[in-house]
Every structure is written in structure tokens, then in C-alpha cells.
Structure 1
Amino acid sequence: MLVDSHCHLDMVATRDDLDEVVARANRAGVATMVTISTTLSGFADVLAIAKRCEDVWCSVGVHPHEAGSEGQSAPDRVVELAADPFVVGIGESGLDYYYDKSPRPAQEESFRAHIRAAQQTGLPLIVHSRDAEEDTARILREEYEGGGPYGCVMHCFSSGRELAEAALDLGFYISFSGIVTFKKSDELRDIASMVPRERLLIETDAPYLAPVPKRGKPNEPAYLSYTADFLAEHLGMSREELAETTTANFFRLFNRARPPQSA
């Protein structure tokens, strides 16, 4: 059994073929998925997918791209929406200096509000970081030291060793997507090798970043199996061992989610 810890089912599927997308994932061994919120204005649609599809959960939060228009200055609204039992995580939130679609001060303010929502709810924070390693590490550490511990996963990790080590030092988890299968991802594969097995997660980030051999095509949760096979071989694990490890890690971190009854 595999868990896709981060996908965007509202972007992957229309309402008419959503059931088939989930069915294909199940046939590929992906038994549980988390569909991720990127805006509060679209949260109702994300939540509806989680409620409609068996063993699909969701998060609530505002992506850094949307921080200029929907960024949160306080945790209150996110905390309120996170009360729904289908919500298992806070985010995705963080910093994106690659596209800079929102002003950096707005990104930081909203990021800190999401961290505080994670602290208040006890739900794990889902972090997006691109070309913002130093500021991401600084803010995560400042909020941890100033407001108390919180669970966290560095989603779709593609940064350098310094951010990975900073996250691991705080007890956080690191999730790898199809990027780890790309030909030029040698540094990322080295980082995957140094992540303790008990802190390892996998994801698709569908519909983005399809793994080899599906690279260049729209991604979907069924393709998690390719990333799992690749990463297992790279780490010297069996597919079954990697599946068991990452699934156990997922339910330890996202502890509001319930394992499938068939598991």
C-alpha cells in the first residue's frame, strides 16, 4: 500500500472522471491520498473531493503564489476551517522566490500564520519552498523556538542539503516527488539517501512533475508507483519495504487520517 501525501485532485480531474482517477490510483497500489488546498476561496471544492472519495483526505491553506490576494495575517480562519474531520494538514504554505507571484512580505506573513495554525490545531504543516532556502529555514526555526513545536513536511523537496538538514534538525519530514527520478537530480538523490527512513514520505504533486517514464505528461496519483519503485531501488530497499515505511510515516505525521479498512 502506498500513500500519495500530496496531490491536487481538483486540478487532476473534472467531476466526471474523478472516480476513475482514484480507481486508477487504487489499482496501482495507492490506497490513500491527500488533496491539497492552495486557496481558501477554493477550499470548499477540495473538501468536497475528500468527502466524496473513500480514503482521500485534504488540507487547508494558501499557496505562496496566492499570498498577495488570499494570504492570511493571522491563523484564525485556517484554524476554523481545519476543524472539519476530513482536514489532516495545514497548507500548502511557504515561500516561492522563483516565480515571485506574490510580494515576499505577504508570503512571509501568510507563512507564519500557517505555522501558527499548525501549532494551534496540532495538524502538520505542509511547506512549499522554492529558491527561498535561507528564509524558509529561518522562519521555520523562529516560529518553532518562539511558539512551540509543530509537525511539518517539506513537500516536493527540491532544495539543497542545508534546508534538508535544517528541517531534519527540527524533527520534520521530507517528501520526494517524481523529480527524484529525473536524470539531472543527482544532488536530490544524494539528499534522499541521507534522510532517515523514519522521516521519508513520497508524493506526486499531481498534476505536476510526472516521474520517468511519464515525464512530460499530466501527472496523477497512479504514477506514484514509478517514484516508489525508483526510490526503493536507489535506497537499497524492496518496494514493499519502502511502501510499508512511507505509509507508516504518513499516518504517524498525519495522525488525523485513518488507514483504509482493507489495509
Structure 2
Amino acid sequence: MQTDPRFSLVFAKKKKEFAVPAPLAPIADTHAHLMSFWDKDPAEAIARSALAGVRQMTTIWDPLADHRDAATYHEQLVGWIDQARDLLDQALAAGVAPLEPAGELIGPCADAWDSNPRALLSRISFLAGVHPYGAPEYTDDVHAQVLEALDSPLCSGVGEIGLDYHFDAEDNIEAAPHQMQMDVMARQLSLAVERNLPVELHLRHEADDVERSSHLDAYNVLKRVGVPAAGCVLHCFGEDRATMERFCDLGCHIAFGGAATFKRNDEVREAFAACPLDLLLFETDCPYMAPEPIRGLECEPAMIPWTVEALTGYRSSVTGEDPAQIAYAVWRNSLKLFGRQN
């Protein structure tokens, strides 16, 4: 019997089919853009991720980019969660088997595993913030909208905020003046510090920028404004070990996504292998950057087990740590930051 495509964990690329690997431990997707899908339904994506072993998810709301207020987004997210619950009920009633860890879990890792995919639905939250693309439009009114969103019971932090010095040729987006971006980042970072909430940073510069100026400037903003006691995350990390270590010295977490599995990104994998275990996170940044071997497809949270498998396997080959224990440690980090029970 063929699986209903809404619940399928097999993805096709160039006439080949790839089955999502079994999770090593509960998985958290700490950065997912559920409103940015091109061809996917958000509720179905949530349901598939639950079947794939995702047990916590953090998504993003931006009052400028998403063109809706926080209350409307809250209602929309609640609606997707309710629809995902109905979909999971249908899937389980039809005999769809959720993925289970391939090996025997032991100790705390075994205790943490919940075989009921519905467990994800109580651990979905969102971050509120304005992406650096929106810096020129960041007014007092927009700031008030972000501040109001932080009171939502589904809001778990501030983000994604930061600095983007890259010219986006595809969408013809020029980088806003750097000082303007730093001022807007500092203003939103202050909210996280004052509210004791975690913050996620988007930092990007041109590939030939040897000074890594977005990271250099962000480091200085963090030193001046402060790192929230609740945590700071460098999302979608794509830099080298030295850059990772500099931010880890500030206590920042480092989140790795599908791009870290790309063949050319040896430096990024080296940073993952060297990062302190208690500061590691996984994410998809969906719908962007699906991991190998399905790179090029529209990414979704159900694809994150490939990233976990590739990166824990690489780190294990370098450090000798058990891949499942690495995955479990990352799960604990994610829960500490974003595991609010709804």
C-alpha cells in the first residue's frame, strides 16, 4: 500500500528516491520559516516532521516581511498546529509508522524519546523580530509590534535579527547602511536582554569579505548591548572554527543547517566538530538549503535527520564521541533555549 503523499518521508530528486534516515535522538528544528514555503502546506510539513522524529520547532515572525500583525500570526500558527494534530491522527489511524531511533537508546536519551509524534505539537513556538533587510523601515511603531509579540504565549524569543551586508542579486536587494543595521540590531537585542529572552542572529557578508565584517560588527554590538542570559544563537552558521570560537567565548550557541552538509563546506563541519557540545544546535532554515543528498529541493523540517546524521557522524569521526549522544546533547540545548510547553 502506497503512503499518502501528505505523510511520506521519501523525497525524490532526479528520478531517485531518498528515505529520511532514522533519528538518533529527539530532534529540534530551531529555525524554520513556515510562512515561506513555495509548494508546501505548513500543517502538512509540521505533521511530516513529527513523523520524522522532530519533537521541538521554532519558527519566525517578522512584522515587515510577513505583512501581518502578531495576533494574526499567533492565530495562524495555532491553526496549523491544530491541522497538524488532525493529520497525525489520520496518519496513525491509517497505520503510518513514525520513524523510531535505529539503535537502542540508553540512559537519559532513552528517557527523553517520546514515540508519540503528537509530542511535537506542544513544543512549537515562534521568535519575533525584524530581519536586517527591514532596517530602513524599522520605526517606533514596528518596534512596538515586536514588543507586543513577546507577550504571546507562543513566543519564545527575539529573532531573526542581525546584519546582512550581502547584495542579493536574485531579489535585487541592496544592503542597508551598516550603521543603520547595527542600530536596529542593538535596539531589538536590548529587548532580549531586558526580557531575558533568547535571541537568534542572522549574520551575512560577501564571500570575498576576508574580515567577515558582519560578524565583526555583530560581535561589537553584543559586547556593547550584552548577550541575553537566556541565550544567543548564531543561526545558519557558515563560517570557520576561529569565528565560532570567538562567539562561543561570549556564550553564544551555534546553529548548523543543511548547508553544513554541502561538499565544499569543510570549514563549517570543522567548526561543528570543535564547537563545545553544550553550545550546538540544529536547524533547517526551511524552505532554504535542503541537506545532502537532497540539496536543491524545497527544504522542510522533516529533512533535518539528514543534517543530524551527517554532522554527528563527522564529529564522531574526529572526536570519538557517540553520534547518538551528540544528537541527544543538542536536543537538551534546544529544549533549554526554546522548549516552552504550550
TM-score by length of 2: 0.69
- Tell me the residue number matched to 1:242: 326
- Tell me the residue number matched to 1:108: 182
Structure 2: runs of 5+ lacking an equivalent: 1-25, 82-120, 168-173, 206-213
Q: Does 1:94 align with 2:118?
A: no
1:39–1:63 contact (8 Å) kept in structure 2: no
CA-to-aligned-CA distance 1:10-38 (integer Å, 9 cap, x gap): 11277x93221111111111122111123
Going from structure 1 to structure 2, the CA distance change for 1:74 and 1:39 (only over 3 Å counts) comes to closer
Going from structure 1 to structure 2, the CA distance change for 1:23 and 1:150 (only over 3 Å counts) comes to closer
Post-superposition shift, 1:184? 0.5
- Tell me the residue number matched to 1:153: 233
1:66–1:101 contact (8 Å) kept in structure 2: no
Identity %: 32
Structure-2 separation of matches of 1:31 and 1:149? 24
Post-superposition shift, 1:85? 1.4
The amino acid that maps onto 1:25 is S
Structure-2 separation of matches of 1:215 and 1:133? 26
CA-to-aligned-CA distance 1:47-106 (integer Å, 9 cap, x gap): 334323123210100000111123669965423220111000101000011124323222
Structure-1 separation of matches of 2:306 and 2:133? 28
Deviation larger for 42-51 or 53-62? 42-51
Q: Does 1:183 align with 2:253?
A: no
- Tell me the residue number matched to 2:10: none
Of 103, 123, 133, the match for 1:65: 133
The alignment yields a C-alpha RMSD, in angstroms, of 2.3
Of 45, 48, 52, the match for 2:75: 48
How is 1:74-89 mapped onto 2 (pairs within 5 angstroms)?
76-89=144-157
Post-superposition shift, 1:140? 1.2
The amino acid that maps onto 1:28 is A
- Tell me the residue number matched to 1:253: 337
- Tell me the residue number matched to 2:36: 11
Structure-1 separation of matches of 2:69 and 2:135? 15
Structure 1: runs of 5+ lacking an equivalent: none
Post-superposition shift, 1:136? 1.3
Q: Does 1:225 align with 2:305?
A: yes
Structure-2 separation of matches of 1:178 and 1:193? 15
Q: What secondary structure is seen at the aligned counterpart in 2 of 1:32?
A: strand
Deviation larger for 229-238 or 199-208? 229-238
- Tell me the residue number matched to 1:141: 223
The amino acid that maps onto 1:23 is A
Deviation larger for 36-45 or 72-81? 72-81
The amino acid that maps onto 2:256 is F
The amino acid that maps onto 2:28 is V
Structure-1 separation of matches of 2:155 and 2:49? 21
